[in-house]
Amino acid sequence: MTVRVRLVVAYDGSCFHGFATQPGQTTVAGALKFSIDRALRDDVALVCAGRTDSGVHAWGQVVTFDTASERFDAVGLQRSLNATVGPAVAVRAVEVVDAGFCARRSALTRRYRYTVLNRDVPDPFLAATTWHVPDELSIRALRLSCDPIFGEHDFSSFCRLPKRDLGASLVRRVDDARWIDLGDGRLRFEIEASSFCHQMVRSLVGTMIEVGRGKRAAGEMAGVLRARQRSQAGHIAPPHGLCLWSVTYPGFDSAQPDA
């Protein structure tokens, strides 16, 4: 008899070439699978809620896999994984879920956070998780730049076009987008959508920072969106400021798996 297991995983993406397994590269999925296979003496197939790029972090990544029920012990597996993949990766929760649950297909929304350190002087203790922008930024302009992206749009201007499936839809539904002033020079962009195109959040942030710097008007965001041309958007923000914060499912939010 097999069981479907759900993990909630956090990781510092600095030392990984993204989440997905890649030959010859150190990845989050590769490290997890190696440790899971060894702990359970099995060859599991991992499914994740969202593939993060090289250098991108996560707090609420969700992973599912199937394994034999006689080999599974939630407490023991969590301890084993955290001892072998930590501290760069932390398995925050382990539980058996319904066989129909899928980390990717069952997800309702995904929420990302991007943090900017807007100070004259960088902070070495925040360097791995924030983008240092010393130029003066207008929080009002940043907030106004969010308005045009709410709702369902074609985000071709704000993503890398798919290499394999050239006909894939780049239409996404954005449910929430906001800039938050955390104080002490820290600004956070939060965005929630049904799903995201490749590099979509970083492209949005890079363009919005140009608005915050006064190099673009906030109203230009709507025109960039309508153009459906990557060349119309700004530079892509660096990966280390980005974090996959949470994934929501019916009755479950990965940011707070025990709530």
Which residue type occupies 26?
Answer: T
Q: Which domains does the chain have, with CATH numbers?
A: 2-106 (3.30.70.580), 109-246 (3.30.70.660)
Sign of CA dihedral 207, 212, 214, 218: positive
Residue 53 designated active-site: yes
Give Cα separations from 20 to 41, 46, 131, 149 (angstroms): 21, 10, 24, 28
What DSSP state is assigned to residue 236?
Answer: P
Considering the candidates 37, 42, 53, 253, report the single residue annotated as catalytic: 53
Query: Which pLDDT tens digits describe the chain residue by residue (259 residues)?
Result: 899 999 999 999 999 999 999 989 999 999 999 999 999 999 999 999 999 999 999 999 999 999 999 889 999 999 999 999 999 999 999 999 999 999 999 999 999 999 999 999 999 999 999 999 999 999 999 999 999 999 999 999 999 876 655 567 899 999 999 999 999 999 999 999 999 999 999 999 999 999 999 999 999 999 999 999 999 999 999 999 999 999 999 999 999 988 6
Contacts of 240 (CB under 8 A, 6+ apart): 13, 14, 55, 56, 57, 127, 128, 129, 130, 131
The answer to whether residues 149 and 174 touch, using CB atoms and an 8 Å cutoff, is: yes
Nearest to 156 by CA among 235, 87, 224, 208: 224
